[in-house]
Amino acid sequence: MNSIPNKLTKFIDLGLIEYQQAWDFQTNLFNQLLETKKQNRELSSNEQRTTNNYLLFCEHPHVYTLGKSGNENNLLIKKEELHTINASYFPINRGGDITYHGPGQLVAYPVLDLENFFTDIHKYMRLLEESVIQTLHEFNIESGRISRLTGVWIDHEDKTNPRKICALGVKTSRWVTLHGLALNVSTDLKYFNNIVPCGINDKAVTSMEAELGRKVDVVPVKEILKAKISQLFQMDFR
């Protein structure tokens, strides 16, 4: 563990940003944290530097991303046809299979040194899910988990029509986190027709707008999700 655990967390809203730009931005922070931790191993406890934590929010233009354990066959549209729907494609280094990001989807990338919080990847994933479950509850949308599947689901206890509203995919190295979650707020759901979302072909995808039957502004969703993540991880945004 770090000699001085640091729960100070810098919140950055990147707005609508190209996937490659956001990936480069968070990867740079990720590598800085790893370098600090590497240097700390050579120092005495009173010389070690505290590691920083970041919580990034953003939206992306239309893009499909494939995790390192994913199956490229789950992209149902030919790559050379992606330009016809203004979409791009990236194989990336998170866990999980294929997913879609686009406008109206709130993406959260926590770049944290978990040694500042707890060293438990399972707990980390469940708290990210819990932050979304509590956020949706504020909008009178009841949601939960499905055994052996990641993410957050609507009608999760109804075997006839469970619908995924939030996807998770993360990478960790030396307890530093990368990637995160994607919550469908006002997402254009037809883009999911071009993939087998997360490699699951027998369950649907939904959004807050689809569930509520009305327009949903992403701004209050951001504010609530930020607060829920802060509470659950006991972050300090000062």
Query: Which residue numbers are catalytic?
Result: 198
The tokens describing 195, both together, are: 């993939």
Cite the beta strand spans of the chain per DSSP E. 10-16, 54-59, 63-66, 88-91, 98-101, 105-111, 143-146, 149-154, 163-173, 176-184, 204-205
| The amino acid at 52 | N
CB-based burial, 93-125: b 16+ in 10 Å, e otherwise: ebbbbbbbbbebbbbbbbbbbbbbbeeeeeebb
> What SS3 class is residue 131?
helix
Listed residue (157, 154, 121) closest to 137, CA to CA = 154
Picking from 141, 160, 162, the residue whose alpha carbon sits closest to that of residue 151 is 162
Say how far apart CA 173 and CA 75 lie, in whole Å: 28
Which helix or strand (DSSP H or E) is residue 20 part of?
helix 19-40
Q: Are 50 and 7 in contact (CB under 8 A)?
A: no
The CA–CA distances, whole Å, from 230 to 53, 59, 155, 238 equal 12, 20, 26, 11
